Amino acid sequence: MLIGKGSDLRSSEITNEQAYYGRREFLKGGALALGAGAAASVLPGCVTSAAPEEQAPPSRKGPFDASETPTPYEAITTYNNYYEFGLDKANPARNSGKFRPKPWTVKIMGFVKKPADYSLDDLLAGLTVEDRIYRMRCVEGWSMVIPWQGIPLASIIKKLDPLPSAKFIEMKTILAPDQMPEQRGDALPWPYVEGLRLDEAMNPLTLFATGIYGKPLPNQNGAPLRLVTPWKYGFKGIKSIVSINFTDRQPKNTWQIANPVEYGFYANVNPTVDHPRWSQKSEKIIGQRLSLIQIAKGEAAVKRTLMFNGYGDQVASMYAGMDLKKNF
Ligand code: MTE
């Protein structure tokens, strides 16, 4: 992602990620070849394997559950974009240990019948947590498959009862520079903000996630509450949400404010519209195990990117008649 001034840019984040992840996979492969006990004694501390229960395949129950193999818990929780905790993929897991996701308050405001400061428990009271296995596609060209637990945003919105004048929601991440080291700098305008059209927010796919693999959401993944819109690029998935404003105007999101040429409001996954620096035609699958021979050959696990990340049946009608090249 483009952060701050152009000179701050690393030449290609994808290359960095590939090198980083390729190394982890190589070491993991080595661990397998050596046997777990031997590996533990020779491999550096950063190479851990997830506990067996974390690797248990989540059961597919819902109509929206992806059929692909879920990404291992370790990859989902150590390969993150959470710029408040640092600009590299490994930083959020390392730097978010002291973040306090409890107690948590969400401010509801704007064109809504029940504006108030809600404790998280009150906001979610009476609503059912659901399991959803969703594909996630980052605009940087990589993807994961994540078994989330969360509450459909539509049921939260119905409870809050928006006024007819509400057409969009704008969400903000907590501003806590004492807990989030990068908020003391100007890499991005803080706090992180995101927006959705109200019909997008009410779409049955849209989730406010509270957990992953049956465990509470780790800090680096956006504890205690983060947005998941699986047909949009991952940057729409705003983390650690502290406010929702019901508004009649299309809000701007953080990346759009930082670089309007590269990032738009909609951010729908679209393999026919390339990002200026990244092709969107295909994606690298994070956490997929490759054989040592494949890794030695420099191969990566890659797949073709699908329109709306494969969720066209559920979401395409919301964009009927829209020019998706213009509304990127
Ligand atoms: N939310 C906040 N507050 N800060 C961020 O830097 N990064 C976004 C999104 N939400 C980000 C954020 C980006 S670019 C992506 S790809 C996803 O979070 C990554 O989510 P993950 O780390 O859980 O995979």
H/E run at residue 285: strand 282-285
Q: Is 141 in the pocket of ligand 1 (CB under 6 A)?
A: no
Residues 6+ apart with CB under 8 A from 62: 130, 131, 132, 133
For residue 293, being part of any structural domain is answered with: no
For residue 12, being part of any structural domain is answered with: yes
pLDDT for residue 207: 98
Q: Is 190 in the pocket of ligand 1 (CB under 6 A)?
A: no
Q: What CATH number does residue 189 fall under? A: 3.90.420.10
Whether the CB-CB separation of 77 and 221 falls below 8 Å is answered with yes
pLDDT for residue 60: 77
Q: Which residues of the chain have pLDDT under 70?
A: 2-57
Q: Is 237 in the pocket of ligand 1 (CB under 6 A)?
A: yes
Range of the domain at 79: 6-134+147-262
State residue 195 phi and psi, 5-degree precision. Answer: -140, 160
- Alpha-helix residue ranges (DSSP H) falling in 35-145: 36-42, 52-55, 73-78, 91-95, 120-124
pTM: 0.85
State residue 105 phi and psi, 5-degree precision. Answer: -125, 140
Distance CA 211, CA 120 (A): 14
Name the residue among 224, 231, 213 with its Cα closest to residue 75: 213
pLDDT for residue 76: 98
Q: Hey, whose CA ends up nearest to atom 12 of ligand 1?
A: 238
For residue 328, being part of any structural domain is answered with: no
User: What are the structure tokens assigned to 221, written together?
Assistant: 């993944």
Distance CA 124, CA 120 (A): 6
Q: Looking at ligand 1, which atom is closest to the CA of residue 234? A: 16
Q: Hey, whose CA ends up nearest to atom 19 of ligand 1?
A: 81
Whether the CB-CB separation of 239 and 173 falls below 8 Å is answered with yes
Q: Is 138 in the pocket of ligand 1 (CB under 6 A)?
A: yes
For residue 306, being part of any structural domain is answered with: no
The pLDDT tens digits of the residues spanning 257-281 come to 999 999 999 999 999 999 999 999 9
Burial (CB < 10 A; 0-12, 13-18, 19+), residue 18, is: middle
For residue 327, being part of any structural domain is answered with: no
Side-chain-facing half-sphere of 64: CA atoms under 13 Å:
24
For residue 17, being part of any structural domain is answered with: yes
pLDDT for residue 56: 60
Q: Is 86 in the pocket of ligand 1 (CB under 6 A)?
A: no
Looking at the structure of the chain, the number of domains it has is 1
